[in-house]
């Protein structure tokens, strides 16, 4: 890419929609490539739940820990250099231990709960976390009110997402997914503002069904995307997801999991789509469409990979903007 074009694209304002671990990695790359303050991350809160009386926000924490350089690189969630004294005692009590809270992680859950109990919004609490940990990008919960993603099993039971994903280890077969607790909920004003002021919208490589769709389902989001270039990165490579139940969800819902299935899932929104090099052979016979499809290495093993993918996303977005 020509240097001055490369330089210009770093001045773009990007708003990225993301969920947990996979999306967080691309956000780290975008955070490093873009100008300070030019990245807004709109993060799914459909996984949020209450545990030991504490408000847990798994996707927000995965994103914030990743951007702060504090994420445990083995799991992708929770803190690095963690200890598990509290969890050991919880186990000794016979109390619920299915959701592993490390000691350092727990400190943040306690502080978040304290601030929420004082009447602060989740948006304000998350901004405080970013300030404390020196995160230069904006991290915005998708909304400030409860908007749980609910999983309906083939047996007709409704589960909160983390119950399905962590407690039951994705065993139940999914019959249906209900977003936003089956209610009409508006995105926060700051989220709509971040969408409207963006030059480029990015759908990070997160689970389309339970990380990206909840954000797109919020009132005001799809309207605020009108006229904006939208680039998505596939979270599915050669039919499987690097982490989490995305591929299984496609299959449970009767769709063969593939990067093509992801592209079709977002079809009417997209101007650009980046899929992994490993899926290039399949892409040869994708039906042509207005979307610019580009293969790239989407597996991010280190910061260099995250930066390279972020640059590929930004340059595809800049190319779309130039073509307008």
Q: Residue 213 interacts with ligand FO1 (CB under 6 A)?
A: no
Q: Are 258 and 282 in contact (CB under 8 A)?
A: yes
What does the DSSP assignment read for 131-188?
HHTT--SEEEES-SS----EEEETTS-EEEHHIIIIISTT-SPEEEEE-GGGS--BPP
Nearer to ligand FO1, 46 or 317 (CB): 46
Tokens of 179: 């977003």
CB of 75 to ligand FO1, least distance (A): 7
273: β partners: 232, 293
Q: Residue 58 interacts with ligand FO1 (CB under 6 A)?
A: yes
Angle at 209 between CA 42 and CA 72, to 5 degrees: 60
Nearer to ligand FO1, 20 or 214 (CB): 20
Question: Which of 68, 116, 159, 166 contacts ligand FO1 by CB under 6 A?
Answer: 166
Q: Residue 204 interacts with ligand FO1 (CB under 6 A)?
A: no
Tokens of 191: 């989220």
295: β partners: 275
Reference 183, options 43, 16, 41, 46; nearest CA is: 46
Question: Which of 64, 101, 192, 201 contacts ligand FO1 by CB under 6 A?
Answer: 101
Q: Residue 105 interacts with ligand FO1 (CB under 6 A)?
A: yes
Tokens of 134: 């020196």
The kind and range of the H/E element at 190 are helix 189-197
Stretch near ligand FO1 under the rule CB under 6 A, chosen from 94-102, 183-191, 276-284, 313-321: 94-102
Stretch near ligand FO1 under the rule CB under 6 A, chosen from 115-123, 136-144, 161-169, 260-268: 161-169
The kind and range of the H/E element at 26 are helix 21-33
Stretch near ligand FO1 under the rule CB under 6 A, chosen from 82-90, 162-170, 287-295, 311-319: 162-170
Residue with smallest beta-carbon separation from ligand FO1: 20
Question: Which of 15, 27, 33, 78 contacts ligand FO1 by CB under 6 A?
Answer: 78
Nearer to ligand FO1, 206 or 258 (CB): 206
DSSP 321: H
User: If binding means CB under 6 A, how many residues of this protein chain bind ligand FO1?
Assistant: 16
CB of 100 to ligand FO1, least distance (A): 4
Among residue numbers 11 through 50, which ones bind ligand FO1 (CB under 6 A)?
19-21
Nearer to ligand FO1, 104 or 152 (CB): 104
Residues in the chain: 324
Q: Residue 9 interacts with ligand FO1 (CB under 6 A)?
A: no
CB of 286 to ligand FO1, least distance (A): 29
Residue with tokens 């270039």: 229
Q: How far apart are CA 144 and CA 141, in angstroms?
A: 7
Strands 240-241 and 174-178 turn out to be unpaired
The kind and range of the H/E element at 219 are none
What does the DSSP assignment read for 58-77?
HHHHHHHHHHTT-B-TTTSS
Nearer to ligand FO1, 105 or 311 (CB): 105
Tokens of 310: 């972020």
DSSP 163: I
Question: Which of 49, 52, 84, 99 contacts ligand FO1 by CB under 6 A?
Answer: 99
Question: Which of 9, 15, 40, 62 contacts ligand FO1 by CB under 6 A?
Answer: 62
Residues near ligand FO1 (CB under 6 A): 19-21, 58-59, 61-62, 77-78, 99-101, 105, 162, 165-166
């Amino acid at each position: 890419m020509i240097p001055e074009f490369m330089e210009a694209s770093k001045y773009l304002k990007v708003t990225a929609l993301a969920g947990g671990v996979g999306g967080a990695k691309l956000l780290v790359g975008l955070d490093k490539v873009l100008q300070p303050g030019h990245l807004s991350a709109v993060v799914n809160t459909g996984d949020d739940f209450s545990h030991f009386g504490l408000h847990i926000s798994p996707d927000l924490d995965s994103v914030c820990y990743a951007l702060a350089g504090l994420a445990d690189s083995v799991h992708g969630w929770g803190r690095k250099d963690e200890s598990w004294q509290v969890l050991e005692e919880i186990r000794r009590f016979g109390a619920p231990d299915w959701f592993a809270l490390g000691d350092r992680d727990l400190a943040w859950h306690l502080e978040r709960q304290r601030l929420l109990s004082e009447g602060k919004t989740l948006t304000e609490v998350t901004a405080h976390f970013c300030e404390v940990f020196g995160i230069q990008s904006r991290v915005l919960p998708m909304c400030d009110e409860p908007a749980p993603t609910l999983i309906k099993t083939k047996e007709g039971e409704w589960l909160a997402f983390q119950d399905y994903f962590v407690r039951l280890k994705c065993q139940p077969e999914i019959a249906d997914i209900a977003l936003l607790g089956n209610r009409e909920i508006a995105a926060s004003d700051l989220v709509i503002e971040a969408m409207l002021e963006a030059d480029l919208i990015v759908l990070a490589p997160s689970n389309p069904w339970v990380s990206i769709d909840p954000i797109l389902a919020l009132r005001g989001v799809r309207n605020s995307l009108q006229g904006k270039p939208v680039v998505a990165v596939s979270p599915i490579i050669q039919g499987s997801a690097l982490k989490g139940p995305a591929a299984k969800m496609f299959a449970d819902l009767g769709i063969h999991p593939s990067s093509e299935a992801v592209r079709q899932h977002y079809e009417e929104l997209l101007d650009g789509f980046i899929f992994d090099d490993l899926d290039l052979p399949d892409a040869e016979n994708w039906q042509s469409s207005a979307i610019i499809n580009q293969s790239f290495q989407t597996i991010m093993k280190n910061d260099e990979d995250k930066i390279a993918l972020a640059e590929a996303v930004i340059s595809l977005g800049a190319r779309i903007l130039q073509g307008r």
